[in-house]
A and B are shown apart, each in its own frame.
Chain A
Amino acid sequence: MRHPSEGVLRRLLDEPAGVSDADRRHVAGCAACLAGLAAAREDAALAGAALRTDRAADADPAAAWQRLSVALPARPATPAATTPAAAPARRRAGWLHRPAAAVLAAVVVLSGAGVAAATDWLPIFRTEQVAPLEVSTDDLVALPDLTAYGDVAVTGDDGPRQVADAAAAEAETGLDVPGVGDLPTGVEGEPAYAVVGELSGVFTFSAEKAAAAASASGEPLPPLPAGLDGAQVRLTAGPGVAAVWTQPSGLPSLVVGRAVAPQAFSSGVPFETVQDYLLSLPGLPEDLAAQLRGFTADGSTLPIPVPADLVETSAAEVGGLPATVLESRDQALAAVVWVEDGVVTLVGGSLGPDEVLDVAAELR
């Protein structure tokens, strides 16, 4: 098969659901295309860093409206909006229907509760080029779009936003922002603080859609458990906060993040039933399925889809708690993640595993 174009590889990064199954399968098994995908991701991250506009959020709409009002030729007698809240509602509906959002929701639902934290934070990490630590190229390439099996709705925060300092971050999220002791060598200056609100995703299983998808893929739909049709799974994650130190290249030198651990709620049938059935669907990669089987519904574990081609994992301890250490195979990035009392904490960056563990051990 011919290689997909560079444009197709680029779209895989943003809208994998917009790329054909044939192309996704090809890329998943093609070293040259995976290398092209990695190069595209690097260039996209650099462009993202170059085009960042953190301080734009400081703009004052009220003052700007005053300024515009002066420039306007004439004001109508009744300037009040005739359809209150119509614009935001419409905007949100549009966002929900984007393929990228649907895939996001698929990630949330498919991986049980755990990866929702990573998904919630993906905009931060993608900007900072840490995305390979959360979602593997294989996940991006082969993850089925769950809208084929039901309805997906994501609600919640519009994305991470910058706040002035740790106190503001604490006020917005209700989380204790971890204080860092001695900064590792090469990490300097003050961090930027970002917060995200709670993200909630609802997946409503549809037997009709699932049957249609199965017949389209030429594979039989596994027998449907009783009550699954119309069953809903709701997953929540966040709020969360991140402190990010950056270096001139645009890579994060250090990221310290903390979020309320994700939780799963179901109606009609137990979450495990929905999860098991999703795992049995045709097209689910075996390695991802194997990871999913270890997940629990209560959010007490931290399943992270680890891209084995990019990241090595090992076990460690932080403050007596079990933790997972991730290190990219090129040794450019390392991170440690752990869960305590329903709160996920991550320390990562362009550091070595020893350095992130040192920072983690000294968090206040």
Chain B
Amino acid sequence: MDLGRSGPGGPAAALAAALPRGGGGVLAGRTRRADGAAGRAVAVRPDLEQVFRADYRWVVATAARVLGSRDEAEDVAQEVFLAFSRTTVPAGEARGWLSVAAVHTALNVLRSGRRRATREAATAVDEPAADVADTVVGRDEHSRLRALLVRLPHKQSAALVLRHSGLSYAEIAEALDMAPGSVGTTIRRAESALREEWVRHASSE
């Protein structure tokens, strides 16, 4: 993927047009409003299905890093692809765009608290075969660390998740409109904060 071809402002600017920052609104609703303001119907891009089938699991995995729940990540993926369907981002650059969109949207979901307690409860009951991630870092610890993601500065949490999703430092810099030299420091601070949270939790037990 080559995020550098998204033109001035890069994917960050493209996303600003398509995705809400903060707040808890449903993305699809906002996008519809934007469409209405433009006063015209927006055609669905013809390569949507191809991109969707190629990158759907990737988007779910990226969102799931933030949310810890596949079901919620799939909801986010729906919103992300709906937004993507209205863009003209070239298919070859789709994955970079989708990654950033997935992280922003998932963090917004986490921040806004529009989480489904009922779904979480149902998930716990319906899926006795625990997530492998839950055996690595227990379910409680996951919730605690995810809560920390929200408390971190947005760029720190976004850079952290994008890095662990496999984006290069150059791609992260482009996506988050950061100086390339500051990406490592930003990721390091986020991971250090996670470590402190982990230690604080462990010592309180």
Q: Contact residues of A with B, CB < 8 Å?
A: 5-11, 14-15, 18, 40, 42-44, 46-59, 61, 64-65, 67-68, 71-76, 78-84, 86-88, 90-91, 94-95, 98-100, 162, 189, 192, 246, 248, 250
Contacts and interface: CB of A to CB of B under 8 A. Distances in A.
B82 interface: yes
A8 B74 CA distance: 35
A59 B194 CA distance: 28
Interface of B: 1-2, 28, 41-44, 46-57, 60-61, 64-66, 68, 70, 73-74, 77-78, 81-82, 85, 91-95, 131-133, 135-138, 141-142, 145, 160-161, 163-164, 168-170, 181-192, 194-195, 198
A53 B61 CA distance: 6
A261 B40 CA distance: 59
Looking at B42, B46, B170, the one whose CB has the most chain A CB atoms below 10 A away is B46
Given A43-B191, A47-B190, A162 B47 contact: no
The 3 closest A-B pairs by CB, nearest first: A7-B185, A7-B184, A90-B92
Contacts, number: 194
Interface SS, A side: helix
Contacts of A68: 52, 78, 81-82
A6 B133 contact: no
B150 to A, nearest CB: 14
Contact of A87 (B51, B73, B136, B145): B51
Nearest to A43: B191
Interface SS, B side: helix
B74 A91 contact: no
B47 to A, nearest CB: 5
A274 B91 CA distance: 39
Given A11-B169, A79-B48, A94-B1, A74 B43 contact: yes
B70 A58 contact: yes
Given A6-B184, A51-B161, A246 B135 contact: yes
